Amino acid sequence: MNAVLSPSAATDPLVALKQKQQAAWGSGDYSVVGTTLQIVGETLCEAADVQSGEDVLDVAAGNGNATLAAARRGAGVISTDYVGSLLEAGQARAHAEKLDVKFQTADAEELPFAPGRFDAVLSTFGVMFTADHARAAREMARVCRPGGRIAMANWTPDGFIGQLFKTLGQHLPPPAGAKSPALWGTEAYLAELFGPAAASIQCNRRLFNFRYRSAEHFVDVFRTWYGPVHKAFAALGPKGDALERDMVALIDRMKRPDAAALVIPGEYLEVVVVRA
């Protein structure tokens, strides 16, 4: 999800926020966690009815879950992110499967493509983390052709990841100008963002099951590899013990009680916007 950002960050809260977000997603190694989410890219491509020969853009693609899913369906895919190392991970995955995909560093808030260029624009747990939500939504709509589809998977506020970010916020105040990424997981906010550009907006609530050995194993993986959690623990230092306790308590509250190992259902909103 590496663009050179303007020095105006000192006076523009959204630019400063983007710098912090980019640093967070560039830390750790999101691909370690990201690859476990591959099934979401597959189901999103089915929901968006991605077809062979279509031109598809994956926005804030991370290590390429939706990218690979669309390419497996015969689409011509451009995979974009503003963290170059994540695109490199996606490129290695595409090469291993002999998939013909173009990878390009790009900011979701300033996509370098002509209006109406793509039949489908995808994002799995990516565009929701942009600094300027309205601008990112306008860009996705701009590069999608009339009648095309904008399809997203976004964590919901009440789901596990939404609650995880709320827990992080209790230990570290959000940066100035930040809006909750989980707003993208609500129907009303999506209508606000895409309404003028949408012929229709269809939303379905789905679950992704996080599967780990234990709560402690989950915390260890996320504090080591998942950028925002990695950065939070680094910033907190010894105070990170309290965050760890709160994360374990959250997991214990939301895990599936009947599972032998750890299974945490994580709710997300599957969204398909048909471009007007």
If you average pLDDT over residues 257-268, what whole number do you get?
A: 98
The mean of the pLDDT values for the chain is 94
d(CA 128, CA 132) in angstroms, rounded, equals 10
**How high is the pLDDT of residue 114?**
98
Lowest-pLDDT range of 41-55, 91-105, 170-184: 170-184
d(CA 120, CA 104) in angstroms, rounded, equals 17
Residue pLDDT, tens place only, 82-133: 999 999 999 999 999 999 999 999 999 999 999 999 999 999 999 999 999 9
Percent of the residues in the chain that have a pLDDT greater than 70, as a whole number: 96
| C-alpha dist (Å) from residue 36 to 2, 10, 32, 33, 165 | 24, 37, 8, 6, 19
Percent of the residues in the chain that have a pLDDT greater than 90, as a whole number: 88
d(CA 137, CA 77) in angstroms, rounded, equals 19
Lowest-pLDDT range of 81-85, 124-128, 176-180, 236-240: 176-180
Q: Is the pTM of this model over 0.75?
A: yes
Q: Which residues pair with 118 in a beta bridge?
A: 144
If you average pLDDT over residues 249-268, what whole number do you get?
A: 98
For residue 5, pLDDT over 50 is answered with no
Give the pLDDT band of residue 149 (cuts 50, 70, 90). very high
- Domains of the chain in start order, with CATH, are 7-209+266-275 (3.40.50.150)
β-bridge pairing 144-155 and 262-275: antiparallel
Lowest-pLDDT range of 30-44, 70-84, 171-185, 246-260: 171-185
d(CA 55, CA 50) in angstroms, rounded, equals 9
**How high is the pLDDT of residue 73?**
98
For residue 176, pLDDT over 90 is answered with no
Q: How many CB atoms lie within 10 A of CB 16?
A: 18
Residue pLDDT, tens place only, 33-45: 999 999 999 999 9
Tokens linked to 24: 């967070």
Give the pLDDT band of residue 20 (cuts 50, 70, 90). confident
**How high is the pLDDT of residue 11?**
55
Give the pLDDT band of residue 22 (cuts 50, 70, 90). confident
For residue 6, pLDDT over 80 is answered with no
